[in-house]
Chains A and B, each alone.
Chain A
Amino acid sequence: MDNNILKAEHIVKTFTKHTALDDVTIEVPRGKVYGLLGPNGAGKTTLIRIINHITAPDSGVVTFNGHQLTAADVANIGYLPEERGLYKKMKVGDQAIFFARLKGLSKQDATKALKEWFERLEISSWWDRKVEELSKGMAQKVQFIVTVLHRPELLIFDEPFSGFDPINANVLKREILRLRDEGSTVIFSTHNMASVEELCDNISLINKSHNILTGSVRELRREFSDNSLEFSFLGEQSKLTEALQPFTREISSNGIDRDGFLSVSLKLNSGDDLRDAIAKANEAVDLRSFRQVLPSMDEIFIRSVEMFNQNNPQQ
């Protein structure tokens, strides 16, 4: 079988006044966590809705498990929308069963699976309470469970951590990774770049209705590397600065690090200078450690979006 669980190819979707998606292609590998990133209003939610068969694209093809996506495939997808709510007057348990039955589970199966999940997320005591009594974070847990309960092959989470405190956000991250390890594929849309580095294997960056960057997180970070290094050493900083002068664009002191060594951050002119730079530094001071600093997804996000916007000012 195809290694990609989902392919969306050349998707175009226009609304009356603007183009939401313009020739966007993404390929989501099976069993991975796929990040769908992009500024507000870039077209992510529209793309997700197309993948989830809620709206139809003007042109382009979505392939799921090797065949063209149909309404029946939605049973194999779990989608947690960004804007989400529950029926306020309904009891939590009844409501969860209602949603589970919409996903095709029988009442007995739904109840059994729900009890397990409620146990795991420590919310069993809410079963008979009305939704309006729950806090936002509590309601989010219920929504999360409802999304994953029917064990779909593909899970789509749109901003899953909004409204969560750090402790519960971690619980959720753990559960998402556990689901991935059990074989689910996850599409994960967020503005929280730290969680992208933590969770995502691959990403696509959607900006102004275009897919402007796509690839594995690890490779992208290397690709976007600006040759930043961090040295810690014993000795005089001025000697080190002098020795590295020919190779560096920038050099700045970080003071003394945790281990009591002096520390500097620097950017090399070129990656090819790395060996020479280390040799020179070693002569000048007593070098204790060095490491390459890869750019954060935050930086990659900002740089890509700004570059795209500069090159395409008309949009």
Chain B
Amino acid sequence: MTKRPINNLKLGIFVLVGLLLLIFSLYMIGRDNNLFGKNYKLTARFENVQGLTVGNNVRYAGIQVGTVKKIRILNDTLIEVAMLIDVKMKQYIHKNDIVSMSTDGLMGNRILNITASKDGSLLAEDGDLLATKKNISTDEMLETLDKTNRNIAVISEELKTTVLRINSSAAIWKLLNETELPDNLRASVLSIRHATGRADEMVKDLHSIIADVKNGKGSLGAILTDTAIARNLEEALLKIQQVGDHATALVDELSKLTAGIKEDINSGNGTAHALLKDSALVIKLNNSLSNIEKGTDGFNQNMEALKHNFLLRGYFRKLEKQKRKQ
């Protein structure tokens, strides 16, 4: 047996490197489990922990800050979860912060999230109980989805009947197959475009008119902008008011007058009363008028006799000639 040379230095390095790697990896693994750092305890109470187990991660604003230490059933509706939190986080976690449960990724492990309440409450102490928020579990989500699915089924069924009816409707297909319709539509659209173009021009004109009015051009502008006119108008109005006042005075006098007249008439003074109320006078008047009629009749006969008189015939002929000339 030949003794092979041995190098204690190399053996020492070999073993040391192995041991260091062992210690290092133990530290690295232990660091995640909070075995070597200083921790403090916080608790939260849930109705349902949804599969959370001891050792699950606790995150504060998405940062890994600790692990679940213990899960204890308090009673049939309450489960207490104790968390070990890195003591460095003591200056950030407040008493009113909220603990909620979620999943790491889509199908990953359960995690606890501590969300900052941002209301400036006191910092949480060792052993404090934090409030929790109930999260929607996948079961509840699926239940809602189930309802939605059923509704969608109903809707799709109705859509199907609608589409079937549309398909079987001759009128719509006729409308769709109409070849002239697009041309007509195009023409309509063209005329609408013209109309709108004109409307646009009109609006522009209106705009310019309004601008002119604003600038005091034209009579409307003058009315609106000229202060002198306003003064004149005011005066005119004042005068109209005065006239109105005068008119009322006039009306008053008139009414007095009519009242006087009325009185006169009723009491039997004056000619008007004689005219209106005296029946004897009316008979006399009638007689006089018939006498006058008879008189004028006789006068007419006398005049006719005069026309035919030889003395005056020449004058009347001259008059007739002049009429003809004209």
The answer to whether A and B belong to the same complex is no
